[in-house]
Amino acid sequence: MPKFAGRSNAACNYCHRQKVKCSGEQPCQRCRQHQRHCTYRPRGDRTVAVSEKHLEHLNTTLNDLTNAIRVTGNSTLKPTSRSATPRTTRAEQTPPASAPATQAHAHAESESEDAVAPLVEDSTAESFIRKLKEVLSNVGRGSDNPLATSATAFPATSSPYSSSCGEGSAASQRQHANMRFDTTHSKLSFKLPPYQYAVQLISQAEQSFGDYHTFLRRSFWRRLHATYKNLSSQAKDRNWLCRLSFVLALAEANNHNNQSLTITLDESGEIPSWQGKKDNSDDIFHTLPPGTEYFEQGLLMLKVSYEDPTVDDVEALNLASHCSFILNRRKAAYAYAGQSIRLAHSLGLDQPAPASLSNLEREHRKRVWWTAFCVDHATSTELCFHPAYVGIDDSLGYPDSSGLSAEDLEEFFDPDLLTAQIKLLQIKGHVITVVRQLKSRHVYQRYDLLHQCLERLEQCRTNMPANLAPLLEFDFQTLPNAIPDNRVPFSLSLRYHQCYVLLLRPLLLHQLASMLRGDMSISFKEEVRNTNNTCLQAARTNAKTMLHLAASEMLVEYGYWDSVHLFSCLTVMCLAKIMAGRLPGPFVWQGTERDEDVALYDQARKVLVNMVQCGNISSRYHLEMLTEIESIGDTMLHPRQNSSSNLDGALISLPAAQAGSNGDTNDGSFRVGDIRLGRELGFDDWAELLEQPVIDFTSFDIYSTSLG
């Protein structure tokens, strides 16, 4: 007898109803004997129990991989190297003991290289026809082959993107319907400043934002002279008039007063009254910063041809994004930057230019792309958005003037300035990504992430061009000859130290949140104090830089970025004062450094107050937020004298029935209005950063020179 094969897992409907064995065939033996139609029930889904911990791990891994794919392009330090952002998956955080660390890192790099392909497949119809012709042409090479003959009978078909790189004809670029909107221009009046004043403004513009490639220098000056000589000859080119208006707007906003700013202590400590007029209905300030008129004029002239874009359109959008910050229009700047980077990508500026172009045109296209890249990343990170473009082609190098003639060199600024800007924005994007990862409750080994980010910041400084690296840590007192008379190096220094502030400031906030909850048992180990001092030292450097710019008439009083950098360093110094007054040991001061920090804070705050009095819109709101922090500090340091204070309409108080002398409440949180800081800040899971002395931060002390 054959061996019994076992009972079938499935039974037909008839056998199932009769409660008899079924052979499981189709049809089964019983149905075949009785000549019945044999049917089976569809198999249902199987319910499998999965632990919640496993699901959280899968979700964390997916999010980390997605973030790594998004930030790999802007976190690389070199366009020819796609080193991945420090990954936070378990596979990398806890590698097998037998696998060296270098192998795990190499594996992460290979994953990022495979994941970050800027274009997976060209699926356009033009690409399909082009490939079809290639197949036909490869079938037979002989002239008598009918397939090869039919393939050559069709004209060459180019991709809509290849034509933008100079490979297609003019006809292939206009395969769309034309609209009257594309060529119709409304009548507008155009206003220019006096010629001498315009020359002064353009010269000021070159000194203020020469780290970007906003225009070809010599060509811009020639067209400026031609415009003033015969305006009607240039009136037809509205794109030129638009870009000229934007440059004049930026220059006028950056134009400095003849009188230097006198730094004195602000005895009142109050927000100065606004000097402009107020609208009684909605409290909108009508006093606009200088340059606004030219900015509005440029916006009226701005008309981008999205179907037939040019490099000039990308330049105009880059300038429009810059100008938007004059009025604190950050979302508008973000929108213009997004259009700019997408047009640049559609033009193929992120790819090496065709060899048929001159060296001047090739370098111009490359620098316009990098400028759009920088503008996109600067506006995105400021709003905590992902950049519109994160991929970097390996074949596209940094700005380089080595292949230019002496005459062509006059068209460009120093390429090292733009290269430094690119690297700083890449590392800033990486810093923001790391801070976001540190706040996650599912990230392991936070110290390793912090360690890697600090290493990359140090590497960023060492990889700077030789003539710029010393400027990131120069001393205003001991190195007076090394202080440049140009604004651009100071801007680079401010942006570099801002990265340290953005990375380490959340750690200060976590410690402050613990103090607000009344946790008086915080132990400030040496590693924590070194980290706090690194953040405080970066804030000191930026504060002294801002004071030097104010005294040297290089402060951009209406500038958004100067206001942001000033507010950031003042915030850190204010937190340091509050923490040191609340508990001993969070910082280490040498000699009279603590008293010097108090004086430095007062002087830097006066600069911010002066920017508000001048009409800087962003500075006003920065000063209001700084005042809120100061009020919270007064409440913490003097709870009895400041049991309640009115801060811009919001009541800040210690509940009398629950609070003790240390500001702690029964539920473990400190109340500021309706905000429960102890639980709403999202830093409760950072406690291990105060408890795990894993690395020695003294090895990352970049401030080898005393700042006095």
Domain boundaries, the chain: 1-43, 127-157, 192-255+291-413, 468-700
Checking if the pLDDT of 339 tops 80, the result is yes
The pLDDT tens digits for 23-37 are: 878 888 888 888 888
The whole-number pLDDT of residue 30 equals 85
The whole-number pLDDT of residue 237 equals 85
The pLDDT tens digits for 416-431 are: 889 889 989 989 988 9
Question: Which of 128-132, 237-241, 276-280 tops mean pLDDT?
Answer: 237-241
CA–CA–CA angle 72, 75, 80 (5° rounding): 80
pTM above 0.75, yes or no: no
Checking if the pLDDT of 609 tops 90, the result is yes
Q: How far is CA 456 from CA 68, 76, 424, 462, in A?
A: 16, 10, 11, 10
Checking if the pLDDT of 556 tops 60, the result is yes
Give the CA radius of gyration of the chain.
32
SS3 203: helix
What's the CATH code, domain 1-43? 4.10.240.10
Higher per-residue confidence, 579 vs 471: 579
Checking if the pLDDT of 706 tops 50, the result is no
Query: Which of the four pLDDT bands, split at 50, 70 and 90, describes residue 467?
Result: low
Q: How far apart are the first and last CA of the chain?
A: 100
In this structure, of 33-47, 66-80, 292-306, 578-592, the range with the lowest mean pLDDT score is 66-80
Region 636-643: mean pLDDT is: 61
Query: Which of the four pLDDT bands, split at 50, 70 and 90, describes residue 662?
Result: very low
Higher per-residue confidence, 186 vs 87: 186
The whole-number pLDDT of residue 703 equals 31
Checking if the pLDDT of 7 tops 80, the result is no
560 touches 618 (CB < 8 A): yes
Region 368-385: mean pLDDT is: 92
Kindly write down the DSSP assignment for every residue of 346-366, as one continuous string: HTTTTSPPPTTS-HHHHHHHH
The pLDDT tens digits for 116-160 are: 344 445 566 767 777 777 777 766 555 555 555 554 555 554 444
The whole-number pLDDT of residue 499 equals 93
Checking if the pLDDT of 20 tops 90, the result is no
Alpha-carbon distance 643 to 461, whole Å?
46
| Residue in the block written with tokens 């230097």 | 260
Both structure tokens of 50: 């999965």
CA–CA–CA angle 341, 342, 345 (5° rounding): 85
CA dihedral 565, 569, 575, 580 (to 10 degrees): 170
Beta-bridge partner residues of 676: 671
SS3 345: helix
The whole-number pLDDT of residue 373 equals 94
How many Cα atoms are found within 13 Å in the side-chain-facing hemisphere of 61? 11
> Dihedral of CA 130/133/135/140: which sign?
negative
Region 570-596: mean pLDDT is: 83
The whole-number pLDDT of residue 637 equals 74
Both structure tokens of 412: 């460009």
Q: What phi and psi, each to the nearest 5 degrees, are found at residue 522?
A: -70, 130
The whole-number pLDDT of residue 286 equals 53
Query: Which of the four pLDDT bands, split at 50, 70 and 90, describes residue 696?
Result: very low
Region 231-240: mean pLDDT is: 81
Query: Which of the four pLDDT bands, split at 50, 70 and 90, describes residue 553?
Result: confident
Region 209-218: mean pLDDT is: 86
The whole-number pLDDT of residue 414 equals 87
Percent of the chain with pLDDT over 70: 63
Q: For residue 251, with 0-12 CB atoms within 10 Å meaning exposed, 13-18 middle and 19 or more buried, which class applies?
A: buried
The whole-number pLDDT of residue 307 equals 87
Beta-bridge partner residues of 651: 646
The whole-number pLDDT of residue 44 equals 62
The pLDDT tens digits for 468-527 are: 666 666 555 545 555 666 788 888 889 999 999 999 988 888 888 877 776 555 566 777
Q: What phi and psi, each to the nearest 5 degrees, are found at residue 686?
A: -90, 5
Q: What is the greatest pairwise CA distance in the chain?
A: 112
Query: Which of the four pLDDT bands, split at 50, 70 and 90, describes residue 384?
Result: confident
The pLDDT tens digits for 651-660 are: 333 333 333 3
Question: Which of 361-370, 482-491, 584-593 tops mean pLDDT?
Answer: 361-370
333 touches 319 (CB < 8 A): no
The whole-number pLDDT of residue 243 equals 93
Both structure tokens of 330: 């950050």
Higher per-residue confidence, 47 vs 410: 410
Region 18-26: mean pLDDT is: 82
The whole-number pLDDT of residue 582 equals 75
Checking if the pLDDT of 68 tops 60, the result is yes
Element (H, E) at 333: helix 330-346
Q: How far is C-alpha 159 from the geometric centre of its chain's CA atoms?
A: 32
